[in-house]
Structure 1
Amino acid sequence: MIKLLLTLAALSLLPLSAAAQSSRSWNFRVALNDEPIGTQRFTLTPQGDQRELRSEASFDVKVLFINAYRYRHEATERWQGDCLRSIASRTDDDGKLISVKSQREGDKLQVTATKASETLEGCVMTFAYWNPAILRQTKLLNPQTGEYEKVSFALVGEESIEVRGQATKAKRYRLSGPERPIDLWYGADGDWLALQSTVAGGRRLTYKLE
């Protein structure tokens, strides 16, 4: 259910120029049909001419006070500019364990996942919603599954959304290509502000900044 959205693993909330200046962390409150199910935390740290992005997610979906779905995800990514240098992720998707590793050698990125491996050429990006450069991409690497997925982005329009209790002007984009479309909101300065999608059973999954 959450698989498609935990392509979020490569996240920070800053444009590239700002992110390179100092370490920052963000917390998202995650809800399913407006019911809290957990959090996802992202921390971006400059390291010389590269950046390290760590993400941690913990979701529990309860039905009649019984835990019906459990999700845990950890990922560490290293970036140079807008290009992925390496990734190491581990996911427990309700008991199904998945791992992904990648390492760049020259202009090639070797990706090894639990069930398959692939060599990708050129500059590769994950579903790095923190970096508005993804809006120009036609393929993105899923850090949970290791799949290199075809994608497209379209501007839906401009609107006002609530961010940390304040009305904020934002541009809304729609990501198509994964199993279900994902809507993303960006501020005037390029900051990623929110996410929404529809998951199994027609339920609405939302990410809001705390």
Structure 2
Amino acid sequence: MAAEAGCGEMRALGLSLALAAPGVLAQSWNFDVRLDGKLIGSHRFTVEGPPESREVLSTARFDVKLLGISVYRYRHEARERWRGDCLQDLHSRTDDDGKALEIDRRAEEDGNSACLMSYAYWNPGLLAQQRLLNPQTGEIDELRVERLPDAVIPVAGRDVEATRWRLSAKSAGAKQEITVWRDRRDGRWIGLDAEVKGGRVLSYRLP
């Protein structure tokens, strides 16, 4: 059952997480990742460059164990190049418990001049999107966004009042519910929760 919790749901999360503020040339964060409250790994990301020319790197490493035995392993690395709020190109490699996936995609190859985002939780413009590029599969996911009641979330050892947004993503018939947390004071992206198979919860928190 523990292994099933990772397969597929990690893919739907669109694991490309970043945080950047206007005028900031380089930032990096390292999230603890938990499954039902149990630490299973980390997701580190960096954003470099001004808003008109950002480069994003995300690296995720998850290991789910049962009685000390590894039952699921996940490795993901994605490099993205952005121009403003538009994704220009993406290269990602994923090892989803032995299943290898590699994506190399450029905006000009799509034959579509429309601006497209990936799962850029760092970008407030994400909340206005209806379609997102999944950096693990290279597919276009349909998206519905809903505002949830504000709540408190622990961030780096202290409680922070936050806004919450539910992202309902749909890809190839599969659905994924993701809750994105933002600091109510400045709108920063500070956390994430997602329901995975079996009703389990995958959470991102700053240590």
TM-score of the superposed pair, with normalisation by structure 1 = 0.88
Query: 1:174, 1:120 → 2: CA distance?
Result: 28
For residue 3 of structure 1, report the CA deviation from its aligned partner.
Answer: 2.0
Q: Distance in 2 between matches of 1:206 and 1:192?
A: 14
Q: Deviation above 4 Å: which 4+ runs of structure 1?
A: none
**What amino acid does structure 1 have at the position aligned with 2:11?**
K
| 1:90-125 deviation per Cα after TM superposition (whole angstroms, max 9, x unaligned) | 0000000011111133xxx43xxxxxxxx5441010
Query: What residue number does 2:57 align with?
Result: 54
Q: Is 2:86–2:117's contact at 8 Å kept on the other side of the alignment?
A: yes
For residue 19 of structure 2, the aligned residue among 9, 13, 18 is 13
Shift of 1:47: 6.3
Q: Do the aligned partners of residues 48 and 139 (structure 1) sit closer, same or farther apart at CA in structure 2, a change above 3 Å counting?
A: closer
Cα separation, 2, equivalents of 1:207 and 1:128? 14
Choose the corresponding residue for 1:204, options 197, 201, 204: 201
Q: Say if 2:122 is the partner of 1:130.
A: yes
1:185 Cα deviation from its structure 2 partner: 0.6
2:125 match: secondary structure: helix
Distance 1:53 1:148 in 2: 19
Is the 1:57–1:73 contact (alpha carbons within 8 Å) kept by the matching residues of 2?
Answer: yes
Structure 1 CA distance, aligned partners of 2:85 and 2:106? 15
Distance 1:145 1:128 in 2: 15
Matched with 1:151 is 143
Distance in 2 (CA, whole Å) between partners of 1:148 and 1:83 is 14
Structure 1 segment 103-182 matched on structure 2, within 5 A: 103-105=106-108, 109-110=109-110, 119-178=111-170, 179-182=175-178
Return closer, same or farther for 1:98/1:156 CA change in 2, 3 Å cut-off: same
Given that residues 40 and 58 in structure 1 are in contact (C-alpha distance below 8 angstroms), is that contact kept between their aligned partners in structure 2? yes
Question: Partner of 1:176: helix, strand, or coil?
Answer: strand
d(CA) in 1 for partners of 2:180 and 2:118? 15
Moved more, 177-186 or 140-149: 177-186
SS at match of 1:14: coil
Q: How far apart, in 2, do the equivalents of 1:191 and 1:177 lie?
A: 22
TM-score normalised according to structure 2 size: 0.89
> Which of 43, 48, 59 is residue 45 of structure 1 equivalent to?
48
- Secondary structure of the corresponding residue to residue 135 of structure 1: helix
- The one-letter code of the counterpart of 2:38 is E
Consecutive unaligned residues of structure 1, counting only runs of 5 or more, are 111-118
User: 8 Å contact 1:128–1:134 — kept in the other structure?
Assistant: yes
Of 33, 36, 53, 2:36 maps to 33
Give, in whole Å, the separation in 2 of the partners of 1:176 and 1:47.
30
Counterpart CA distance in 2 for 1:82 and 1:136 is 12
Q: What letter matches 1:12 in structure 2?
A: A
Q: Quick one: which amino acid aligns to residue 84 of structure 2?
A: G
Paired amino acid for 2:191: A
Structure 2: distance between partners of 1:194 and 1:169: 12
Instruction: Give the % identical residues.
Output: 44
